[in-house]
Amino acid sequence: METAAPSPTITDRMLRAARLDVGLYEEVEADIRATNQALLVVVIVAIAAGIGAALGGGNVVGRLVAGILNALIGWAVWSYVVYFVGTRFMGGTATYGELLRTLGFAETPGILAIFGFIPILGGILALIGGIWTLVASFIATRQALDIDNGKTIITILLAILALFIVVLVVSIIVGIIFGIGFAVGSMVSP
């Protein structure tokens, strides 16, 4: 009787993601059980960034909670936008879950943000982590969508443009709503 091979540990997968191991991105793309691990990677990186920022001063708990929520929402939205652009316009073949998993693991190098509290060095390490994450995200996108490098670049640029437009429109709408609220409030006040 054969037993199933043990599932790779999250630590092993994070190290492979950080080494930009193309095989890792193919592996997590195909492994639906890796979705929870990808979510955990995003949370771990957000906690590391929150700790790095909080050690510099300020509301530690507030920063951690806000950082985790922002990271999870950002991961979900970014993964969907990349999925939508890549499959609709670039001929990529993937599911939303495949992008969630690959892009979640691509966040691994962002763990360097834990050193953000260290003057000068923290900023340099955060920059390195950011560039490293960008490269990992490129590989994750390419592998999940099964597209070439050129289409991957276009997908990422179009996704950035789409997110920019959405944020701009939402900001304008929120600004109008608050503007109307303030105008009405000032007319009602004695």
Encode the chain (190 residues) as per-residue pLDDT tens digits.
555 566 789 999 999 999 999 999 999 999 999 999 999 999 999 999 988 887 777 677 887 888 899 999 999 999 999 999 999 999 999 999 999 999 999 999 999 999 988 999 999 999 999 999 999 999 999 999 999 999 999 999 999 999 999 889 988 998 898 888 776 666 665 5
**pLDDT at site 74:** 93
**pLDDT at site 20:** 98
**pLDDT at site 66:** 85
**pLDDT at site 82:** 98
Of the candidates 84, 107, 104, 126, the residue with the CA atom closest to the CA atom of residue 36: 104
Tell me how far apart the terminal alpha carbons of the chain are, to the nearest angstrom.
83
